[in-house]
Structure 1
């Protein structure tokens, strides 16, 4: 099959010997006129090379408004230049986020120009409009493609793919298989890994409007890496009673009710690295027992990622568990180097960029947040650590929260609801919260008043450090 891939390769950049490579992908013809957004025209090239016109995908964001944003993607090595033209209306101001990347484009009339020398996931926003923005996913070139002649490789090549045994829209992936979705492929189905082991789901392609993106049930040693998920009806990654999971470099958009990003129930030994999650429910949620999944949740490493909660929490831990059998332990969880671009939640009992709200007799302990940069809170609070009972979700209150550390946390923005540290009663309490180098609008927080933090009943050993 002839791959409809545009490939440019320039070797030996003058004086440095650094290879330059750019790969762009054509959209399958079946979708060319149905999922395009004309808000922007986006071109990319290696320096002094020919400009390549990218396809601007339409992605729906924000459940409240069902807004139509834009998305482009490509792979590169070395350096690339990106030109973005705004096609409609005036261009008075432009911002590229995360702000920590420090990318300032050159703007002339309706055109913006900037360059990248490393892979990035970016949001380009004109005139402060975050609902009709442009998402740019500049991937590293995939140097680890599987052998497509291997009988254990399931290959989705350039073009459109949908299961032939409708209804269902499911591709079942058995043990020992590697799925590879080419960058020019669109798969309209979910991938189901059920009671399987040693499975990889890889590539640069798109999973479009599935029931769920990837569903992992009662399985072990599963990797999901590199794919783009556009508007699943439910979760993007749904994991239950599974271990040894790796989720890397995925990009996700959702705009439906219950369209969480990564939701894991009774899963352990999990790495989540370099993901971009823009969801209309929790971006990352970690629970104990729920539905037919049982067991504790242990050993998570969540890092180098961008979280954008149009609705609900960027991160959420602990509300579901096995209340009838004494609850679950949720422990040893690390968040590090995270950019939170938005948190918007109308329900004041369900707020918090960093939320640990344990119920169902659960215990949450040994959880750390390090180098967390919060750029915007539309409605919500910086954190909420609470042993609670939810009339909507709980069968019992939580049991305990202990040994939580926050280090190098920043929020720059207007007033938000107070952060909360609160136990349920004297036996179901919060104990041991260390807050080090929390800065709000650049000011170091050294006590609860400075940080707009409410320390409620049954919360002890709350320590502030410089």
Structure 2
């Protein structure tokens, strides 16, 4: 009797699990039917045991060094779902699903790769190690708070992407392609439908208490800008084919950047850039760029101020060109008009996957980069639980008092109190030595802890030529 009860309980749990599994597919707007499709793959998804649904495979540009077109699909789901990926051009011998740490192993049957997902993930699926024609898969839980498409929208409205009313506290971008100026107001909530494509950026200038909740796309858009604002939350947008960067945050406070997915191959195409911002939280994102993925700077152009209290977690970074994380190169060299140097402090990066890093210029190499320039003082930085899968060309980390004639008017003031803990680099690729370098006796790197940092399975325990190199202007390095 007891065994029967256990079996009945297991069957009941299985029934609830299957009943809870749902898939939400976002149909493409008709105007992009032929212009945005990539036929490299046929991709379908279904809830476990349900009917297959086709996904629209978007063309996305990758890698400025050699611009090519990869693919991207996106959908929302709850429960457990199956993904079927068919490669349409040529044979293949193996399939990888990255990040490796997810432990997802595809099952190959009749030339189709089947992947089971138990929770939302942001992934790269690669056939025969081809990372330039890969498939990006972006998923999210089904949003319970996303408004339904308004019943009064005609098919013509949907086709043209009828603009919302920005004077309201709730703004809704429905299905369709949207153009125009998207200037947001304080104390508003913006919803972007999964079948909406925005062709211009959001502008948040001098506003407060704004939420953007998105299942939709920004296509070919110059960067979204947040300036002189506070209490801003950006959740869920997908950015593709942007000419330059993805988002720029300037002299703003209390920012939440969550579930942001970005694939860019334009020149100077930084991912999430920050200038003199405080209390910034970034999580659950996937950023692939042809410049730095995440940046934290101070003074540049007409921007002045400090960077403080940054937390980045549960995020995947892929730098086709430049750094995954870059801190400190731009700041204020004191002048009579602006006599104060600037500080970047209390920055934390944890549970990060770096899929690749490629930088051809030795001065700018470093998957994890602190380049203190322009009299910046960078201090109290933590890199923890970071997994680096491959370095095409570059360094695992580079902690450097920097002076480059191209960008700086003086070297940085210092780098202090940096911890690298549980950093695991596979050793794949062609890395050069990680570096810790000061500028002179008055501009040093001080108090660096390397705790359980491994390269190809070997733990760093001391400086070593070709692996980890220091100069004479470094003090207080500890290995644990």
Question: Fold conserved (TM > 0.5)?
Answer: yes
Higher gyration radius (CA): 2
| 1:427-438 to 2 correspondences below 5 Å | 427-438=442-453
* Contact 1:13-1:19 within 8 A present in 2 as well: no
Could you tell me how far 1:199 is from its partner in structure 2?
1.1
| Partner residue, 1:181 | 192
Paired residue secondary structure (2:431): coil
| Partner residue, 2:43 | 42
Cα deviation, 1:314-342, whole Å, max 9, x if unaligned, reads 00000001113332100000000000001
* Contact 2:392-2:429 within 8 A present in 1 as well: no
| Structure with a larger share of its residues in helix | 2
* Aligned-residue RMSD, C-alpha: 1.7
* Contact 2:350-2:386 within 8 A present in 1 as well: yes
| Partner residue, 2:469 | 454
| Partner residue, 2:228 | 218
Could you tell me how far 1:144 is from its partner in structure 2?
3.1
* Contact 1:153-1:178 within 8 A present in 2 as well: yes
Which runs of 4 or more aligned residues in structure 1 lie more than 6 Å from their structure 2 counterparts after TM superposition?
A: 146-150
* Contact 2:18-2:48 within 8 A present in 1 as well: no
Could you tell me how far 1:143 is from its partner in structure 2?
2.4
| 1:216-295 to 2 correspondences below 5 Å | 216-295=226-305
| Partner residue, 1:102 | 103
| Partner residue, 2:432 | 417
| Partner residue, 1:59 | 60
Gaps of 5+ in 2: 1-11, 151-166
CA 1:129/1:16 → structure 2, altered by over 3 Å: closer, same or farther? closer
Paired residue secondary structure (1:14): helix
Q: In 1, distance between residues paired with 2:17 and 2:274?
A: 45
Determine if the alignment matches structure 1 residue 345 to structure 2 residue 355: no
Structure 1 window deviating more from structure 2 (18-27 vs 426-435): it is: 18-27
Q: In 2, distance between residues paired with 1:282 and 1:399?
A: 22
Q: In 2, distance between residues paired with 1:70 and 1:417?
A: 31
Q: In 2, distance between residues paired with 1:146 and 1:408?
A: 42
Question: TM-score w.r.t. structure 1 length?
Answer: 0.93
CA 1:366/1:374 → structure 2, altered by over 3 Å: closer, same or farther? same
Could you tell me how far 1:138 is from its partner in structure 2?
1.9
1:152 to 169, 185, 188: 169
CA 1:207/1:252 → structure 2, altered by over 3 Å: closer, same or farther? same
| Partner residue, 2:378 | 364
Aligned pairs, how many? 448
Gaps of 5+ in 1: 1-10, 164-169
Could you tell me how far 1:446 is from its partner in structure 2?
1.2
Q: In 2, distance between residues paired with 1:125 and 1:222?
A: 35
Q: In 2, distance between residues paired with 1:339 and 1:145?
A: 29
Could you tell me how far 1:299 is from its partner in structure 2?
0.1
